[in-house]
């Protein structure tokens, strides 16, 4: 297989990834072991290596102790817990625990379960669109990298893969820096005043 095809195949797999849809979250409350099994079954394709665990009991307990994840009700986790765990799973490789807490703290006091579900539905829709476009974005980066490397007399395909990894890593770093700066900017924001002004 040509290296370009290998990159396209990897990008296509990324764009085909999907997280847990709201309607796939069980209506019944789950015990810890059922939660971890549910995530393994529903999000197994997201992990990099097959032996990696999506969620562990220790991780769930740590986020509960830190106050990010609400404590279970009689050792059972509901739909809101599952949604929060999806967010935590996505945020934990990128952000420090205090940043994750700040993101969760942005939710209005007393927010309803229906609001949580609606927010999650919008997030999944936007994520699907973002991932769908990611394959084309990677293809464009590869085309540009190949052209500019050829102009520089660097025709070894390893340079293309290396350059693509560097550029995608910079994109990830830029995203992390942007999130950090947004969290700093909105740390003590008067959300009630903002809401009133926007009416």
Report residue 32: phi and psi, to 5°: -50, -50
Helices (H), 45-112: 57-65, 79-91, 97-105
pLDDT 10s digits, 80-109: 999 999 999 999 999 999 999 999 998 887
Buried-exposed string 142-180: b where 16+ CB fall within 10 A, e elsewhere: beebbeebeeeebeeeeebbebbeeeeeeeeeeeeeebe
**Range scoring the smallest mean pLDDT among 20-29, 42-51, 60-69, 168-177:** 42-51
Report residue 18: phi and psi, to 5°: -140, 145
- Which residue carries 């999907």 as its tokens? 18
- Which residue carries 């700093």 as its tokens? 184
Contact 42, 34 (CB under 8 A): no
pTM: 0.88
CA 53 to chain centre: 16
For residue 119, give every residue at least 6 positions away whose Cβ sits within 8 Å of its Cβ, in sequence order, or none. none
CA 192 to chain centre: 28
Closest of 67, 66, 89, 71 to residue 19, by C-alpha: 89
pLDDT 10s digits, 42-85: 988 888 888 888 899 999 999 999 999 999 999 999 999 999 99
| Helices vs. strands in the chain: H and E counts, helices first | 8, 2
């Amino acid at each position: 297989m040509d290296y370009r095809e290998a990159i396209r195949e990897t990008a296509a797999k990324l764009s085909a990834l999907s997280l847990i849809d709201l309607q796939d979250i069980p209506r019944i409350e789950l015990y810890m072991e059922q939660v971890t099994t549910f995530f393994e079954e529903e999000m197994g394709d997201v992990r990099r290596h097959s032996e990696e665990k999506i969620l562990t009991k220790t991780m769930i307990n740590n986020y509960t102790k830190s106050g990010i994840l609400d404590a279970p009700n009689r050792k059972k986790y509901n739909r809101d817990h599952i949604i929060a765990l999806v967010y935590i799973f996505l945020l934990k490789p990128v952000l420090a625990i205090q940043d994750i807490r700040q993101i969760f703290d942005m939710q209005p006091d007393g927010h309803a379960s229906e609001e949580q579900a609606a927010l999650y539905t919008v997030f999944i829709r936007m994520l699907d669109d973002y991932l769908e476009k990611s394959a084309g974005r990677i293809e464009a980066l590869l085309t540009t990298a190949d052209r500019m490397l050829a102009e520089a007399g660097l025709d070894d395909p390893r340079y293309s893969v290396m350059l693509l990894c560097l550029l995608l890593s910079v994109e990830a770093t830029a995203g992390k820096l942007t999130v950090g700066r947004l969290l700093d900017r909105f740390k003590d924001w008067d959300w009630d005043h903002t809401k009133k002004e926007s009416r």
